[in-house]
């Protein structure tokens, strides 16, 4: 039973890692087939820049989960605030994934990052 639990956890992380890379690749290339193209996914999946961004997003979700759990101790108001906290965590994670993907595509640690106040348009 322990082996099954560990295997499930490892596979969830592996497929979660690859699925995010596939989604971001499909959005960037504006075609669904890019999500299933090994040639397009390989440089992203094996990039340290993308792996770092993905790991940070995992930490953001973990922190948000702990905070929301604590906030749920406050009746009604905790659930309302918790929804906003988790939404913000999802926005931060999406930004991390996009930045990690851009860095992986550019091949440098600083490429593709916006400075504070810089427009995305």
d(Cα 47, Cα 35) in Å, to the nearest integer?
A: 16
Largest CA distance in the chain: 51
The mean pLDDT value of the chain amounts to 88
What is the reported pTM?
0.79
- The SS3 call for residue 115 is coil
pLDDT band with cut points at 50, 70 and 90 for residue 106: confident
Provide the phi-psi class of 118: left if phi over 0, else alpha when psi is between -120 and 50, else beta. Answer: beta
Q: Which of 65, 118, 114, 115 minimizes the C-alpha distance to 90?
A: 65
| pLDDT for residue 108 | 43
Helix 2-29 with 77-106: angle, nearest 10 deg: 70
pLDDT band with cut points at 50, 70 and 90 for residue 109: very low
Average pLDDT value for residue range 31-41: 92
Check whether 111 has a pLDDT greater than 60.
no
The kind and range of the H/E element at 72 are none
């Amino acid at each position: 039973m322990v082996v099954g639990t560990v295997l499930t956890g490892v596979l969830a992380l592996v497929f979660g890692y690859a699925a995010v890379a596939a989604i971001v690749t499909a959005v960037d290339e504006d075609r669904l087939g890019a999500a299933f193209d090994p040639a397009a996914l390989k440089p992203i999946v094996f990039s340290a820049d993308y792996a770092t961004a993905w790991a940070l997003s995992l930490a953001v979700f973990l922190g948000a989960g702990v905070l929301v759990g604590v906030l749920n101790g406050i009746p009604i108001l905790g659930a309302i605030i918790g929804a906003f906290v988790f939404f913000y965590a999802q926005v931060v994670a999406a930004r991390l994934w996009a930045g990690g993907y851009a860095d992986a595509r550019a091949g440098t640690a600083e490429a593709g990052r916006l400075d504070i106040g810089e427009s995305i348009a």
